Structures are given as structure tokens and as C-alpha cells.
Structure 1
Amino acid sequence: MSDIERRISDSFRAQGLMATLGAELAHVAEGEVHITLSPRPELSQQHGYIHAGALTSVLDSACGYAAMTVAQPGFNVLTVEFKVNFMRPARADRFVAVGKVTKAGKTITVCQGEIFAEEGSQREAIAIMQATIINVPGST
């Protein structure tokens, strides 16, 4: 495991919300992070779909950690803003949030994210995000 993978894994495990949601860190590479989420009744909204807040939280973390993979040593990241578009209801066996760096700068990193719904062998994008991430001094 590389230093950045270890740093992201340690940070991910320290996030209470990710633990509460049951999210799992699935893939870490330079400029890209995947986080999975399995549906549970506790994460649903009134129509039985997974709540947009749960999915947005996981996708925000995937984008933030993707930005962290390219941040300079001694810096951490925080989300400045994001925009999410949901394209269909969130019903599936599993969800995969993929965060990718679009452009990394010294202070600001722009990321794009997608949530994929996996049902059997089918995989379909259900939401997209654009996120702006800021680099802040600190290593945690």
C-alpha cells in the first residue's frame, strides 16, 4: 500500500458518517477514488429509494479523496462547493461512487463524480457531480 493509499484509508476510517452509512473504500489511484454503498432500509427515503443525501455524501467523499491523491504533501482537502444531478431513482443491489480529478491546481482542484447503480450484471449512471475542492495545510 502506498503512502497516499494509507493516508486516504486512515482518513476514510476516521469518518463517522461513512461508517454510519456502511460505505466502503473500494479503489484508490492517482486522481481517482471509488467508494461503494450497499442499500439498507435505514438509508431509504419515503418511496423506498436510497436517499439522495446518503448518495451525495458518498460521492462528495469520493471526489474529495480523489483530490487528496494529487494534493501536495502536507496538505489536506475540504469541499468548497458541489452540484449534483440525479438522473434516475436510486434502486440497485449496490452503488459505486467514482470521483475523478478534472484539473488540479495549487489551491483548488475540480473533480467530477458519478454514482453507478449495479443490479446483477447491469451498471447504470444515476447521478453526476461537479465538485470544487480546496487544499488546506495539515496532514489529517
Structure 2
Amino acid sequence: MNLDFARAALAAQPFSVLLGARVEEFGDGRAVLELDVRDDLRQQNGYLHGGVLAYAADNALTFAAGTVLGPQLLTSGFSIDYLVPADGTVLRAEATVVQASRSRATCRCDLYTVDGEGNSTLCAAAQGSAVLRRPATPG
């Protein structure tokens, strides 16, 4: 699997397309997803909605896991801590594999907002795992 494969997989996710997410890095236990911060993704106080950060963490964690386990994955679970309100022009989710077995990978993800001058602010941290998807059993 390579960056082009990861980009095609993301493009096959309608919700990711709706948000305008893109894969910027993919390989060797690491994945980086980005999306442009738009006004329709903000909450009532003007900050990026926490659900958007959770989406980015979930997908980045699973993509990072995919670099070691392959593409047939599902998120098993994750937790996220919001550190500061997210504001900027780009949301960047950087995920790395912490531990992997043959069927499960645990990953960590740091989420940054980037402003117009390129300055990054750590706004959330997440940890989660992905597991190989089991084939459906008949009947």
C-alpha cells in the first residue's frame, strides 16, 4: 500500500469527501490527514467543532494502523482529549502506530490547527485501535 492507494481509499468515503479531507502522508506506521477549516465546520463559539476533530483522529488512527495491517480494518475504539479550542485555517491529524499484532494496532494521534502563517497549535490528542475486519459469516 502506498500514498496513492490511501488517497483512493479516502476518496471512497463519502463523509471524508464531504469534509474535504486529504491524506498527506502514509507509510511506515504513520499517517497524516488534513482538512481545510471552513465556517460550516465551526460550532457556536466560532471554533472548529469537536466532532470534526474526532473524525480526523478516528480516520488518521485507522489509516496509520493500515500501514502495518493492510486495508481491511475497522476502528475498534478511541478516546480524545480536547486541549485548547481549535482555530486556524487547516486541521492536521498526525497518527503513529504504538504497538501492532497480526490483527490489531494501537495508535496515537496529535491534532494541530495551522494558522495562515504556518504556525501549529496542538489542540487535541487521541489514542485508539483498529482491528482486521472479519469476513461476514453466512446465515
TM-score (norm 2): 0.90
SS at match of 1:35: strand
Kept after mapping to 1: 8 A contact 2:3/2:23: no
Corresponding position of 1:109 = 105
Given residue 132 of structure 2, which amino acid in structure 1 is its aligned partner?
N
Q: Which runs of 4+ in 1 moved over 3 A?
A: none
Corresponding position of 1:100 = 96
- TM-align CA RMSD: 1.5
1:64 counterpart = 2:62? yes
Given residue 12 of structure 1, which amino acid in structure 2 is its aligned partner?
L
Gaps of at least 5 residues in structure 1 are none
Which among 17, 40, 46 is matched to residue 48 of structure 1?
A: 46
Corresponding position of 1:125 = 122
Distance 2:105 2:65 in 1: 6
Spell out the pairing of 1:28-47 with structure 2 (5 A cutoff): 28-47=26-45
Distance 1:6 1:121 in 2: 25
Given residue 72 of structure 2, which amino acid in structure 1 is its aligned partner?
N
Count of residues in Structure 1 that have an aligned counterpart in Structure 2: 134
Given residue 82 of structure 2, which amino acid in structure 1 is its aligned partner?
F
Q: Deviations over 1:92-113 (max 9, x none)?
A: 1211111110001112110000
TM-score (norm 1): 0.89
Kept after mapping to 1: 8 A contact 2:3/2:25: no
Distance 1:48 1:78 in 2: 32
Gaps of at least 5 residues in structure 2 are none
Given residue 31 of structure 1, which amino acid in structure 2 is its aligned partner?
G
Q: Deviations over 1:23-69 (max 9, x none)?
A: 11111121111111111111111111110101110121111011001
1:136 counterpart = 2:110? no
Alpha-carbon offset, residue 121 of structure 1: 3.2
Indicate the percent of aligned positions where both proteins have the same amino acid.
Answer: 25
Corresponding position of 2:25 = 27
